């Protein structure tokens, strides 16, 4: 496939207002001859604007002949180490690499999942249905009217809706009141409210549905170990980021030594080496590369292929994001043939599926991919311009 190439000449951004403080940012790269590719970008990392960084890098790519994902890295001379040390650079690289991968797959006239497999010599057709888990967190953040009910009953009601609509795994992030360090040792009293929310969700979804809990790095070693016991008693199936597994590697190892629940995380990691070393050191049971931060869909796909062959069921892409990111993630996930479901932020806005043309299709807890080239869809300009803006940097 090296005879296929893409030469970027133009960059376009789209911003869609979602709710409260949340916007989706999509980018499109064009070659001036009808070729194009789409990706989604983070807004800011570490207080630094990601689209600005994308624009600077894209400027340096203008006119370069790109025949692969690797060619983007080589042309920009941004190695994994520098992308890792500056999160904004890693995020910008990820989005650009994603857009180029989409453009190259479209040029090859292959769905992105098939393009990824062909590029690594993998035989066989990928699945067109990718199992999702329902992350209810985004639907429970402030909307344009401000406050949203975050009572245990409210968590339970949203989780029950997801199960009624066919999801077999639900994730929540219930520990609003917690932030280490805590005054007392053991289980912090602040965690009680969060545990009530988890119990209410478990009761609402029944024993058969998997329950994942994201702790957003709000704990420390001692509180995390105490919390894990409580979560285990409630019947939680996945313990995500009690501490940041990338920034607090020693802490996560100490928690790992005491915990029985599968420990998940590393959503901000960049490059396959980051995820490989977390698995090899047995810091985590499940790594969560995010196509908007890990280096894009090719990096996520290669990470999935390598690590899943070492330990099946250890890779689940992180995706609490918009529909372009979910579609890209679903292609990467279908490419490596996942065991675990992929993340999906449910019920953030009821018009979400309309933001893409053709519409995003989520049925019975699965995302359904079409057989069109690339990611097989594009932002719907009517919806985007109605709810946001388009600009060229």
Place of tokens 């049971």: 285
Nearer to Mg ion, 38 or 175 (CB): 175
Closest approach of Cβ 345 to Mg ion, in Å?
11
Closest approach of Cβ 237 to Mg ion, in Å?
15
Nearer to Mg ion, 242 or 295 (CB): 242
Place of tokens 């869809």: 377
Return left, alpha or beta for 388; rule: phi > 0 is left, psi -120 to 50 is alpha, else beta: beta
Binding residues among 199-218 for Mg ion as defined by CB under 5 A: 214
Q: Mapping DSSP to helix (H, G, I), strand (E, B) and coil, where does residue 215 land?
A: coil
Binding residues among 121-160 for Mg ion as defined by CB under 5 A: none
Does residue 300 contact residue 294 with C-beta atoms inside 8 Å?
yes
Note whether 299 binds Mg ion by CB under 5 A: no
Binding residues among 68-87 for Mg ion as defined by CB under 5 A: none
Nearer to Mg ion, 345 or 349 (CB): 345
- d(CA 159, CA 157) in angstroms, rounded, equals 5
Binding residues among 214-243 for Mg ion as defined by CB under 5 A: 214
Closest approach of Cβ 118 to Mg ion, in Å?
32
Does residue 15 contact residue 79 with C-beta atoms inside 8 Å?
no
Number of residues that bind Mg ion (CB under 5 A): 1
Nearer to Mg ion, 31 or 214 (CB): 214
70: preceding bond cis by omega (within 30 degrees): no
Closest approach of Cβ 288 to Mg ion, in Å?
7
Vertex 358: Cα angle to 355 and 364 (nearest 5) = 85
Nearer to Mg ion, 214 or 222 (CB): 214
2 backbone dihedrals φ, ψ, rounded to 5°? -75, -10
Does residue 7 contact residue 66 with C-beta atoms inside 8 Å?
yes
Closest approach of Cβ 264 to Mg ion, in Å?
8
Nearest-CB residue to Mg ion? 214
Nearer to Mg ion, 68 or 316 (CB): 316
Residue 292's Cβ-count burial label (10 Å; 0-12, 13-18, 19+) is buried
Point out which residues bind Mg ion (CB under 5 A): 214
């Amino acid at each position: 496939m090296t005879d296929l190439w893409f030469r970027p000449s133009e960059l376009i951004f789209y911003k869609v207002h979602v709710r409260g403080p949340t916007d989706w940012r999509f980018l499109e790269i064009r070659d001036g001859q009808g070729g194009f590719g789409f990706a989604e970008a983070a807004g800011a990392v570490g207080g630094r604007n990601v689209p600005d960084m994308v624009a600077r890098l894209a400027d340096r790519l203008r006119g370069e002949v790109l025949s692969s994902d690797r060619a983007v890295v080589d042309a920009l001379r941004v190695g994994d180490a520098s992308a890792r040390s500056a999160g904004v650079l890693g995020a910008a690289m990820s989005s650009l690499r994603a857009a180029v991968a989409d453009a190259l797959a479209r040029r090859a006239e292959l769905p992105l999942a098939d393009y990824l497999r062909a590029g690594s010599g993998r035989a066989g057709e990928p699945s067109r249905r990718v199992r999702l888990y329902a992350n209810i967190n985004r639907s429970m953040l402030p909307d344009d009217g401000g406050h949203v009910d975050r009572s245990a009953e409210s968590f339970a009601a949203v989780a029950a809706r997801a199960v009624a609509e066919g999801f077999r795994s639900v994730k929540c992030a219930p520990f609003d009141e917690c932030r280490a360090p805590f005054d007392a040792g053991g289980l912090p009293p602040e965690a009680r409210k969060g545990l009530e929310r988890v119990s209410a969700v478990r009761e609402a979804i029944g024993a058969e549905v998997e329950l994942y809990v994201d702790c957003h790095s709000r704990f420390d070693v001692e509180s995390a170990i105490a919390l894990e016991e409580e979560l285990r008693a409630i019947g939680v199936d996945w313990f995500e980021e009690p501490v940041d597994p990338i920034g607090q590697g020693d802490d996560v190892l100490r928690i790992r030594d005491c915990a029985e629940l599968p420990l998940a995380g590393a959503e901000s990691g960049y490059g396959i080496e980051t995820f490989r070393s977390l698995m090899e050191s047995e810091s985590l049971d499940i790594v969560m590369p995010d196509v908007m931060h890990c280096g894009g869909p090719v990096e996520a796909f290669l990470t999935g292929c390598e690590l899943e062959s070492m330990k099946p069921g250890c890779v689940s892409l992180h995706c609490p994001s918009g529909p372009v990111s979910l579609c890209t993630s679903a292609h990467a996930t279908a490419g490596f043939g996942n065991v675990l479901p992929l993340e999906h932020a449910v019920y953030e806005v009821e018009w979400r599926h309309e933001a893409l043309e053709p519409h995003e299709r989520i049925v019975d807890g699965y995302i359904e991919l079409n057989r069109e080239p690339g990611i097989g869809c594009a932002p719907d300009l009517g919806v985007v311009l109605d709810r946001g803006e388009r600009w060229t940097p």
